[in-house]
Each structure stands twice: as C-alpha cells, then as structure tokens.
Structure 1
C-alpha cells in the first residue's frame, strides 16, 4: 500500500500530550515526517525517555497524573508556549476526554483525533450502544441507561439474566468493571465499579449488560478522513486478558469464519461512518465461538495500544495516517487497496509480578536489552537506568513479531521474549512466553477468561531471584530513603536492621521501588497491615471498633491503574485506622491496627 507522502497540511510542531511508550512512538513518526515535537512531563518524568527524545519539553505539574497529565489547562498552555500546531493525545490519559479535545480546538490548535462531539457520543457507553443499535450492529442485552439505584440494577439483572457485568458508562480499559453471578454480590459490585470509574474517569456512572460466558474479544481498526472516506484495516484478537485488560493481541483475528469476519468489518466501518468519525479508531466486539454470534462492546476513539500488529500486517504507519487526516489530507487509498500480509502478535511488557497476582512492581530498570531480528519490533518507553514510576500504568513496553502465518509469528515472539532481558523489576514477559507456548493458545481454543481461569503462572517459569543479598540483610527492607537527582528520584533500600549493638546496617543494591518515601515492613502473622506500594487510598471499608474476620477487606488502594484490596490477616477488632479515603500512602505505611479477641484492647503485642 502506498504510504502518505509525508506532507501534513499546516502542521509543523506537534505537542505530545502523553508519556512513556506511546509518547516515544509518536515522536519517532514525527521525526520521520520532519515535524518538531514538544513533550510534556510531570516531576516524576523530568528525565524520562520521551522527554529526552523530543525537541523541547515542558513541565506540567507534580507526579500524580491528576495534577499533570490530566490537567487540560496545563497541557493547552504548554502547547501554546511551544507554538504547536497540533496536539496528539496518544492513548489513555486525556485521549478520550471530550473536554480536552474541545479545549485544544478552542485554542486554535489541531486535535489529532475525532471531534469533541464524537468523543463524547462514543465515550458514553450507553449512547454508543444506542448508535450501534440504530445502524444495525448487534448489541448485548443491558440496561437502557445508567443505573440510578440498586433496586433498578436488580430489576435489570433479573430481566436480562445472570451473570451480569457492571460497567463504567464513561471510560474503558477494563476500569470500573465487575462481573456478578448472583443477586448477593450486586450491591457491592455497583459501589466498587462506581468508585473505580469515578477515580479513573471522573464519572462514576455505571450500567449493566448481560455477561457473555467465554467469548473472544475481536476488534476492527478503522480509519477515516474529513472528506467522507472510511476504511477498515482488518481485525485483531485481544482475548488474552487479565482483569479485563489486554496482555496479548494479534492481527488478524485467528479462526474466524469468513462470513463473521466480513460482517464485523462492515459493521465497524458503518458505525464509524454513522458518527462522522475522523482519524484512527477501533470498534470492539465480543464474539461467541461456535455460534457466529457477536455483540458490539464499545468504540475507542483513539489509537490503541495494539495498533502495531495492524501496522505490521498492512505496512501502514497509523500515527502518520492520523497526522495526515488531522492536517486535512484525503486518504490516499481505498478499501480495495487494503491488503493484509502475514500475521503479527504482540505481548505487553509490564512491571508486574504474575507469580504474586500480577502485583505492580515499580522500580528502576538497571538493564534493558531488547530482542533483535528482521521480523521483531520493540516499542519501549524506557532505557536502561530509567524508572517505571509508581504513579502511572505498569506497562512500559511491547514486543511484537510478524510471520507469514500465525504459528511462525507465535514462535518468533516466544524467541524474542526469551531474548528480552530486564533487570531491576519483575515483568510479565516470562509469563506471557508461557501463554504463547501453551497448547490452548496455539490451537486458538482460549477466550477472555482463559488467563484467570486456566493459565495459572507455572512456578517452573518464574525467573530466578536477583543476585543474593549480603548475609546480614533481611528479606524485606526495614527502611527506604528517597534521594532527588537530576534524573528523578533514586531509592536506597536499607536492609537488616541491627538485632544487637555492633551489627552494621547493610545497604543493598537489590532492585527496588522508585519514588518510595520512608516506610517499614512488618513481618509475622497478625502484623499490622501495610501498603504494599505507593498508592492512593480509594476506600476505607471498616470503622474503628468494627469486628472483622480473617480475609475481610480493610482498605482499598489504587496504584498503577489497579485497585489493591488490603485484608485482615486475623479475626479481631479494628483498634485504629491510620488512613482516610483520598490519602496518599507510601510503601510500608501501616494502614490499620487489628487486635485479636484474646488480647485486650490497647494491650501491646508481646
């Protein structure tokens, strides 16, 4: 397919309103097109790779995203100061914020994406379902609008049938979703989903849909210009998911009947045309294997994390295409010109420990060596020595491989993940290598629940622990000290507090957490529950004086776009709460004191 000629009307400087891997990706294409780039950064990202790569960079706030990357005013001001002609939002952050798109347009700048009106219409999941229904795209049974109270939710659930899924009405990426199998769990799910949606998207509204058992997640990439042209660029399968978030994606979607594939693609293009779409977008569906049935899920009005696999099988640079149509160019090809060549698969690389329930593990990456090869691509947001910050998403890169067929692409990606070397933080790479090598994935008999239902991390695949620490060090740090440097905070973990006088405190270079304030870790059964990492308290589930059983939730934290439930290890009484909702806590912070019934209130533990 002929690529754009590189001329982007009236665009000379692009402000990239994002961070990490996607910001680096956008900057690289701008370089190829001869466009200047301006980066934005929080205090935590002052020395980040995307900042180093851009032609210029602007500070927009402190580390928390809500005070920097989610600040519309700060980003628009930075774009104006930079003399930018256009703003590219990437994905996540403000990419699907209609208010941001409108603010960019009001400032006289080009927003690289659809209009604010289209973003608002399709970002409202209930309204998007109505649009799909109006143009003949199948929609799963659900509530007619947002849920106003628990009684309404129970009535809708009884009408559409159990199980149901509570979903955020604004937003995506698996945030604000809870699957409920019976009436007993519905009220709790409504509260939790609304809380998470409010924290993630600023809108707590939720709605209900029938939960489809064991579907595949299939999506269609669309591209549209301002001249009325709409094309699709094939489909992708994103069924390997954890907590409704994708981990492995591939193009094209394997083992789809030709008739189903054609209908999915046609429906996606028709939906994009119906709403007057502009730029790159994705229409997502749930497909029921064996029946040929499928249902509209949502439309993402932005570039997808998985756009690279489509690029590898079409030969099209989607970021260049976005910039071209944003600059007023007409698509330089038609639907008949689109050809898919071969197969591509992507694995998301995140600083998480799959053997610890995918616990986020931010920290400094001492060494990063990426795989090489003619059919391998690595999109990374960091280099050796950079930190995966605790304030943001745990994903820091992606590894992709292409082949003439699916099995070749699969084996190449396995080999690439074997070659990938990350020292300093645990990652999802070895676990995903095992998923790709599994018989179920190879035979395409998996679904969106396979990872959590069938693919428990194999202990044999767990990487060896980092080099042994000095004999005097403890298993967990007794204290962490943060030191500010010109490339961001550096953490020193102090291990092995002296059990007796004369014993020295040892310093360890064990890879640890970045940006962690001083804290302590308590060991032993019944020890006070502590924050496992830097986080924000989103909910306190108990009150002082409340009786709790072992396993009861005490506090709900949020870190790296994940909610973490901290539970009581013992049965007893909540003696003291040390945190409140909305507070920020450092790793090791004691959250509450729970006393067992055998110990009188206020009596110290032996």
Structure 2
C-alpha cells in the first residue's frame, strides 16, 4: 500500500486529497510557494516543502522542484490534483522513471487525451461523435481568421493543453477571432507552458454535460453518471449538479458507454472525465474533450454515488481492482455545487484579492430535513487571496434525498439556505450572484444552456431587487433590529437617572428609494411590526446586536439574514439582495428628505484599472483617437488576460502606466481629452 503521498498542488484540492489520505492512514506532504507559506494545505499536511517564488511557472509547475521535494521527504506517490501538472505527460513520465507512483492515468493516456487535438482524432476513430472543426495546429492570427471563416462563425478558439476555462475564447467575427487567438495563445503559454491552439465550431444553445469514468489496472472501466455543467462564465464552470435535469436514462447510458469505450481505447485507469456538448434542441451529443484527472466538480458525483473518488484513485494507483461493477453504480438523490470565487460580480466578475477579514462557512453535515451540506475549501479566516492563482475560495455543495423534480427543488432550497448563511468579508466575491441564480425561475425549471449567464445577466450583475414581500420582511427586521439596539442603549449602567433615554416604537425605514412607516409591538423574542399601509408581520428571532447572522421566522417562514451594523444604518443581505436600511423617527425622516445629495467624482475621462493586476500591454499612444470598443490596454490577473476597451470615441491625453507595472483597483491607467 502507498505510505506517503506528496500533493503537487495547492488550495482546496490539496486539502481535499489530504483529508482522504488521513482517512486511509497515509502520510501526506504539501508543497508551497512564497505566497502559500501560511496556507491551509501546508498546515494540514504531515510535512511541507518550499518550492519557490509565488508565480506558478517558478514553483508549482516546475517538475524538477517537485521531484526534489519527493527526494527530500521520501514520498512514494504523488497526487497532482487538477490544473498545474495534473495533465502533464512529462511529469508522469518523470515520476515513473523515479520509481514514484503517479495517482492518475498512464502516460500514454495523458498524451492521447490530455492533448485536445489528438483526443478528438482518437474519439472520431473510436466512433464517438465530435464537433466539426480544424484539429491541426494554427500558426498565426491570420490563419486563425481564415480557418474560422471556413468553419463558420461562431467558433471556439481553444488551447490544446488548456483547462479550467483558460486559453478559450468565443469569436463571432474576424476581429474577435484575431484577438481571441492571441489572448488564448498568451494564456495557454502562461498557464500550461504550451501555446498550441485549435478551433472548432461553437454549438449554439448547448448544454455542457460530462461523464465521470473510473478504471483500474486490470481492465475494468465504469461510468459513474453525469454532471450538468452548463452554468458557466467565460467558459469557466460556476454551478454544477448531478444528475442532469436534461438527460433521460437512454441518453445517459449512451453517453456513458461512449465515454467508457473511449477510455478503454487508450488503456485508461484512475478517475477521468469525458466532456460532451449536448444540443438542447436535437438531443445530440458531441465529444468535447477528456480530462485525464480529477475534476473540480467531483464532489457532486461523490454525493450521489456514495463513492470517495480520491480514495478510488489511490487504491487504483496501488494496483487494487475496483470493488464494484457497473450494475452496482446507483444514483441516489440530487447534488449541486456552487463555486465561491474571489471575483466581484458588481465589477463584471473581475478578480478580487486581499485578506479574508471574515470567513464563516455554513456548518457541514446533515440537516433535520435530510439534506446535507458539504464545503471543500483551502482558505481560512485571516488568510490572503493571492493574485497569482485561481480565484476559487470554496466549493459549497448540498445534497437532497429522493429523485426527479422534487429532489432537485429540495437541493436548490438547501443551497439557497447555505449560501445565505455563508459569511465572507474583506474581498469581492460571487456569493450574491450564486444566491441570485438559485432564486431564478429559469434555473429552477432546469432550462439552462452554456449561455445562461450571458442571457440572464445581459447588462452584468447589479444585484437582486427585492419583491414586495421581501422588501416588507427586510424593513420589518430592520425596525426590530434597531429597536433592540436602542433598547440595549437604555440599559447602559452609570447613566444619569434624570435624563432617561426614551425608546420609540414608531419608525420610518428607508431602503434605497422606498420608505416604510412602521409601529412595533414587542413580545419576548417576537415582535409584531405594523405597517402604516395596513399589513402586519410577526418577526421571531433571537438576534442581538453584534451578531452577523440573524435566523428569523417571518409569520412562521424561515430565513437567514446577514446583518452588518454600520453606524446608525443596518446593511442586510438575503438571496442576493444587498440593501442598507436607515431607521429614523418620523420627524428625522422628514428632515432627511431635505438634505442635499453628495455626488461621486467624475471619472468619465479616465481609464481606471478594474482589478488588481499587472499591465501586460498598452495598445494606444498619447494623442491617438480611439473608437468605441477599441482595445486600450491588457491587464493580467489570476492567470487570466483582460482586455480593457474604450467605452466611446475619444483622444488619449496621457498614459501613466508601462507594461509590467502592478496596479491596484481603480488606479489610473490613462486619461482622455475633454
């Protein structure tokens, strides 16, 4: 049996592997860069080895440094996680030569399936349906434009060695094909050390559905159901679920059998994933790629099958036979995974870095209603989110028993509650966006495609506007919270008795542009809130000032509010709604309406950096006239290139940055003439 595993990775996946290794009684070794010296995976492992500077191309993807860490610690096996060296055949080959067990597939399978060009050719030879495209290498942007025109727009430009949404662009015309080719090439080189690019037809209204396969070294290969991964942004998955609400049993079986046939064609063993694009209209599926590693979204498969995929990978690597056959694989219940990213949805999901001043995930385990909450993470409160790596903070998963639509609705409800009780402060993050998706009728119906986010949030994410009932709930709680805060103030010891503080019960609650006049009738933990419009709402909560979560019953209906006291105001968050309530006496509220509004500074003639990052290129010169949509500069952050474009026609007055310069959020890049 394997004695000591070195995890050639970082973050949540390193922590995930360590948990299973400990369960099996196997020692673990963490590797870390300068940026990860105090990371959670370093603390969790039995041993840790420093491997270099923060950039991954100087640490985590340098094979010689990983091999040196193996020699230092005597590790007899390596788990690569996902990303970094997980699909690098040269790495697997180097381990084999060193006599170290690679917890993954054989070298030939990585070479065949890890290269997306080769894998498509092999899939076609194996009788697997593939998307039309140009599988040869593309020399330059001119050739990319020519090929794109021949295939027919829209096209998908992809890095041959890509993964995780990096090195991918959709092009709808020649200009986007030219720009997309160069950006994909740059991202691929920086992320994978391989800048080869290919182009294929982009299927409109597609669903992204993948099959989990598992094989041993004795010729046994199985499929473990599917995962629906259609909720994507910039080709990066955001929400996954298993099973898919779209597939019927016959299609599931056909896709599973094709996935197994492809895996067997290359002698595959270990865990792997065969990804398909499914035409939502015609119910046809096409092979997309095979990921010869553990997927980010593997927890949803674990939740519906009861299998520990990391454990299975370790046992297979040690030479064990699978202990079950295809007929033993049963899909039980429904599971959803929400990826919590350090990305600010209010700034078009641009990366956010900084320190986690508060990180309190919901409690893991089974709930009274039978649902389960699981949270895979690699961070902790007080830790930093670095600009050098993927922006993932955690993977929040929920599971519900049952089957069909009832189970799916139950798991969505459980996810909504878990997101509401997940506290993250100090950085921008996508929790409100995830909550918003869970509340959308289209998502609940299961009518989703890979264009879901682009279609449902055409103008970007600006938050969720509360409906009438929710606004009333927020106003009622705000009044109750203010009353409790005022009540506590009246009980301060040492005050002069001849100046008693009066406790009012009539208030005006302002939420954005709406005003709610209310009167309170406190009764122990319950308070009846009477609105001047005639409605009443009974608020039952144990919340006290200082607590950041408020579990409440509003006329008996449960909800969990995030509460942040900001001076006299109260910030409230629920289901993606983020509002600041101001509670005033009727007289003060009347006077507040007369106060002048403070206007923000005018930045319309400036290009500001929208995220922390490095300027990798400036595309214009001082004095140049630019048109709307024209590229101005390129910023790289968290291994992704972001092209900043002109919002309208104008003349560049002054450029204050140079390539290679690191910028903070809202730092000036250039100014324009008036």
Q: TM-score, normalised by structure 2?
A: 0.75
Partner of 2:335: 344
SS at match of 2:380: coil
Whole-angstrom distance in 2 between the partners of 1:314 and 1:29: 17
Q: Report the 3-state secondary structure (helix = DSSP H, G, I; strand = E; otherwise coil) of the residue aligned with 2:253.
A: helix
Cα gap change, 1:178 to 1:116, in 2 (>3 Å): same
Tell me how far 1:540 sits from its aligned partner: 3.0
Q: State the Cα distance separating 1:577 from its structure 2 match.
A: 5.9
* 8 Å contact kept, 2:353–2:612: no
Q: Which residue of 1 aligns with 2:392?
A: 395
In structure 2, the gaps of 5 or more residues are 367-371, 402-406, 467-560, 569-599
Using the TM superposition, give the Cα deviation of residue 391 of structure 1 relative to its aligned residue in structure 2, in angstroms: 1.4
Which residue of structure 2 lines up, in the alignment, with residue 314 of structure 1? Answer: 305
Whose Rg is larger? 2
1:34-73 aligned within 5 A: 34-73=25-64
Residue 133 (structure 1) shift: 0.3
Look up the match of 1:131: 122
Q: Specify whether residues 376 and 529 from structure 1 end up closer, same or farther in structure 2 by C-alpha distance, changes over 3 A only.
A: same
TM-superposed deviation, 1:155: 4.1
Question: Shift of residue 458 of structure 1?
Answer: 5.0
The alpha-carbon deviation at position 84 of structure 1 amounts to 0.3
Which residue does 1:560 correspond to in 2?
A: 638
Offset of 1:526 from its aligned partner?
Answer: 5.9
Contact 1:579 1:591 in 2 (8 A): no
The two structures, once aligned, show a CA RMSD in angstroms of: 2.4
- Deviates further, 367-376 or 121-130: 367-376
Q: Hey, what does 1:25 align to over in structure 2?
A: 16
CA 1:588–1:233: 2 relative to 1, 3 Å: closer
Per the alignment, residue 117 of structure 1 pairs with 108
- C-alpha separation in 1, matches of 2:184 and 2:110: 22
Q: How far 1:202 sits from its partner (Å)?
A: 1.7
- Taking the aligned partners of 1:526 and 1:291, their CA distance within structure 2 comes to 47
Change (3 A) 1:465 1:587: farther
Question: Residue 203 of structure 1: CA displacement?
Answer: 1.8
Equivalent position SS for 1:169: strand
Q: Deviations over 1:254-307 (max 9, x none)?
A: 121322211111111111111111211000000011312111111111101100
Match of 2:618 in 1: 540
Equivalent positions of 1:136-285 (< 5 A) are 136-285=127-276
Q: How far apart in 2 are the matches of 1:47 and 1:240?
A: 33
CA contact (8 A) 2:347 2:610 kept: no
How many Å separate the matches in 2 of 1:564 and 1:290?
A: 33
Shift in Å, 1:186: 2.3
For the 8 Å contact 1:111–1:326, the answer to whether it is kept is yes
Deviation of 1:397 after TM superposition, in Å, equals 0.5
How far apart, in 1, do the equivalents of 2:661 and 2:3 lie?
40
Range with greater deviation from structure 2 (530-539 or 437-446): 530-539
Question: Are the aligned partners of 1:530 and 1:587 in contact in 2 as well (CA < 8 Å)?
Answer: no
Is 1:328 the counterpart of 2:319 in the alignment?
yes
Counterpart of 2:652 (choices 563, 573, 580) is 573
- Tell which deviates more after alignment, 343-352 or 191-200: 191-200
Maintained 8 Å contact 1:534/1:584? no
Which residue is equivalent to 1:408? 410
2:89 match: 98
| 1:573 CA displacement | 3.2
For residue 505 of structure 1, what is the aligned residue in structure 2?
Answer: none
Considering Cα pairs closer than 8 Å and 6+ residues apart, tell me whether 1 or 2 has the greater RCO.
1
Shift of 1:390: 1.8
- Pick one of 357, 369, 373 that aligns with 2:348: 357
Deviation at 1:345, TM superposition (A): 0.6
Higher strand share: 2
Given that 2:421 and 2:562 are in contact with CA atoms closer than 8 Å, whether structure 1 keeps it comes out as no
Once residues 595 and 420 of structure 1 are traced to their aligned partners in structure 2, the CA distance between those partners, rounded to angstroms, is 42
Residues paired across the two proteins, number = 536
Q: Distance in 2 between matches of 1:38 and 1:453?
A: 44
Measured in 2, the distance between the counterparts of 1:21 and 1:560 equals 16
Counterpart Cα distance in 2 of 1:464 and 1:342: 30
- The whole-number CA distance in structure 2 between the counterparts of 1:151 and 1:568 is 24
Is contact 1:347-1:429 (8 Å) kept?
no
Tell me, what secondary structure is at the counterpart of 2:161? coil
Task: Answer yes or no: is the 8 Å Cα contact 2:156–2:168 preserved in 1.
Answer: yes
* Aligned counterpart for 1:381 among listed residues 378, 399, 417: 378
> Structure 2: how far apart are the matches of 1:591 and 1:64?
25
The 2-side partners of 1:141 and 1:295 are apart by 9
Q: Any idea what SS the aligned residue of 1:176 has? A: strand
Report deviation, 1:550.
5.8
Which stretch of structure 1 is more off in the superposition, 350-359 or 149-158?
149-158
Contact 2:155 2:171 in 1 (8 A): yes
Matched, 1:459 2:537: no
In 2, are the aligned partners of 1:547 and 1:574 still within 8 Å (CA)?
no
Q: How does 1:581-592 map to 2 (within 5 A)?
A: 583-587=660-664, 592=669
Question: Residue 284 of structure 2: which of 273, 293, 296 is its match?
Answer: 293
Q: Which moved more, 1:233-242 or 1:253-262?
A: 253-262
Deviation per CA, 1:501-548, whole angstroms, max 9, x where unpaired?
A: xxxxxxxxxxxxxxxxxxxxx974366645444423333323455433
